[in-house]
Structure formats: structure tokens, C-alpha cells
Amino acid sequence: MSGLDTPSPSGSGYSTSERTTFPGLANCHSHVFHRALRGREVGGDTFWGWRDRMYAVAAVLDPDLLHDLAVATYAEMRLAGIGVVGEFHYLHHGPDGVAYDDPNATGEVLIAAAREVGLRICLLDTCYLSSGFGGAPAGVQDRFSDGDADDWAERVNDLASRHVGADDVVVGAAIHSVRAVPADQLATVASALPQAPLHVHVSEQPAENADCLTATGRTPVALLAEAGVWTPRTTAVHATHLTDADVATLGDASAYVCLCPTTEAELADGVGPSVRLREAGARLTLGSDSNTVIDLFAEARAVEMHERLVTGTRGAWDAAALGEAATRSGYASLGFAPELADADAVTLRDSVRLGGVVEPLWVATAADVEPPKALPYEAEDVAAMMRRAVSAVWERV
């Protein structure tokens, strides 16, 4: 690895006498437009109350404003040392669900935004067809829906064909959730891009589990298993409220599990069984999800810190395992070669916070990352771009 010297004892960071470097970070789960909600009173004492305000933001975005918000947010990710993002994208169509002249217009603006700031992107084109078990899309959800899984698959295959061979773009597939894709259409989504990453929100909220059991007699993980969803290319996002059988299913499949601890805390989701999943054979990755916080060091530490709070025991996760989750495993889960994390290595500032530190993962923050030389904007420019984009969103809400 060019420019990197002796690994630290636990192996996640690299140090020289003058600087500390760290492999490029992988943000494996992002909803870029949620960034507009950061630091605002959104109301509601549960996930479902927060979702109402999030939907209000989704309702006012058009491709131009989505692009502006994405450029600013992806630039913030680059400033935080992130080299690749998995964008879980379901804002597909215009008001009332009418397709744009290019049905993949919003996906393309997100890819363009990532390229503008030098960020690799796995565009996880998300199938979203219903508002619950047996319910038709309602309100802003019309913008998310392609009507059925076959029409979604036709659109996403067109998008994927445009980016074959790109070294900075992967087009993957996603099932929004078992409540948003009917059971008889899950297999169509799972097989649409058979060599690409496949991601799915699963068991983030107890209500989702209860509704799934009532409607199908199965947990979400079990229902998805019947559709052939769980393979080594699949990522279960959140996986917070799992049975022992669910854990075994994900482990037996060698699936990835993407935890998003800052968002899971923000939305009062709960703490996922990260150690049980690891012991079963699942592989950990990390994401910023709602982008309330964009700091993969904080996400990595939170996995261990939340485990300590739940169990009263320290040391379930060491820095090497968390560093792997935040870097190489994340790249792989998004369809990129894990070695690219080393190629995308970032330099950490010689800060007071890092003074005397042996293992940077335990103390570094996004603010400690030296700005990438290839980023075409200064940090002050990014802040101004973000202010303009977020203000434009709220002027419309």
C-alpha cells in the first residue's frame, strides 16, 4: 500500500512518524435526501412519526434539487474519508408517480453527483411497490413505485446497462422491505441483477415483524429466505429485531449485515445482535443511513459501545474487526474490489485528539480527515452548497 507504513497493533490503521493513514471508508447504506432533516425538529416519538416528515421532504424534490443536495452530501462524505457509498435509492419518479422522460433520471443525477466529487457509488435501485401488506402505494409513495416488479426490473436493467465496465459505478438492486414488496414479487427482484449486490431493509422495527407474522406467518428473514434472497451477495440492513432462527439464516448464507448505529439510535430502533450474527457467519458492514451523522469512525465505535451498554461487558469487537467492517468488507458488499479501500486510503490530521494514540479507530472523527486532494471544493464551499440546498428543500415543504 503506497505511502503506508507499519500497521498499528490491532491492524485497522497505519502510522508513520509524521502521519496516520487509514483505508478508505465504505458507507454501505445512505439515503442522501434525508440529509435535509439533520438538526431539525421532525416530531413523532417513534420511527413512524419521523417517517411522515421524511415523506414531506421526498415529496418536494425534483432531479435538479436532488442533484444539488446529493453533491453537497457526497462532498461531505468525501471530507469524512468515505471512498464509496451504497445509495439506497427509491425516489424514482415525478409527482403522482409519473415517470420522467428518462425513467432513470433521478438515479443518473445521483451517479453524476458522486462522480462530481470523486466518490465511488453503488446505486442500489430499490423496488418499492406497496404501503404495507396488501396496501397500494399512498401519497408520496407513488413516486417510489414502478407498478410491479417486472416493470421495476426492466427499468433497472436499462440503468445497469449504461454503466457496464465503469470503475467508479456499480448498479445494484434493493428490496425496500417486506412491507413494500409483495411476497409473490420478491423473487423477481432478487433475480433481476443476479451478479450485482442485493440489499434489503429487514426487521428494523418490531411492528414490521408483527405485521409480517400476521400477514404471512413468517418473520421477514424467513419470508425473504423462501424467495431466495439470502446469498453471499446480499446485505441485510439493520437486522435489529431477529429470532435465533433469523440469525442462523443470515449466518448460513454468509450474508452481509449493515448496521447504522447513529440512525438506529436517532430513530429509537434498538440495538442489533451484532455478536450473534458474527458468530453465526454473517459479515458486518456500516452505514450512515439517514445522514444525521456522517462519520464512519463514530459508526464503527458505536457497534462496540452499544454492545457494552446492552451486555455490561467490554471487548466484543476489537479495532481490527471494526476497521475491516468500515473499509474492505464494505467495499466488497457494494461490488467493489476490497483492495480499493487501500487505494482510497485517507490521511488523518496530526490533531490533539490523536496525540499519543496507537489505535486511531477508537478516537478519530470525520473532522480528523485531511480533505482529499481530488475533491474540487473546499470545506467552506461544501458548507455553503449544503446551506443552499437544504434551504431550498424547506422552502418547498
pLDDT tens digits, residue range 250-306?
999 999 999 999 999 999 999 999 999 999 999 999 999 999 999 999 999 999 999
Distance CA 142, CA 73 (A): 25
Quote the domain boundaries for residue 249: 25-396
- Distance (Å, whole) CA 176 – CA 163: 22
Within a domain: 316 = yes
In a domain, 90, yes or no: yes
Cα separations (Å) of 72 from 271, 297, 385? 30, 20, 6
Is the Cβ–Cβ distance between 344 and 41 less than 8 Å?
Answer: no
Residues 6+ apart with CB under 8 A from 124: 86, 87, 88, 89, 172, 173, 174, 197, 199
pLDDT for the residue numbered 125:
99
Quick one: cell of 369? 480527515
Instruction: State the pTM of this model.
Output: 0.95
Residues 33-66: tens digit of each pLDDT: 999 999 988 777 888 888 899 999 999 999 999 9
Does residue 230 form part of some domain? yes
Residue 17 lies in a domain: no
Name the catalytic one among 176, 201, 238, 306: 238
Question: Does 19 reside within a domain?
Answer: no
Among the options 68, 289, 344, 368, which is catalytic?
A: 289
Residue 4 covered by a domain: no
> What pLDDT is recorded for position 42?
78
Q: Is 16 inside a domain boundary?
A: no
User: CA 103 → CA 73, 109, 158, 353, distances in Å?
Assistant: 23, 12, 9, 47
Residues (pLDDT < 70) of the chain are 1-19
Write the CATH number for 205.
3.20.20.140
Q: Is residue 89 part of a domain?
A: yes
Number of domains into which the chain is organized = 1
**Is 289 marked active-site?**
yes
pLDDT at 104 (0 to 100): 98
Task: Give the pLDDT of residue 10.
Answer: 44
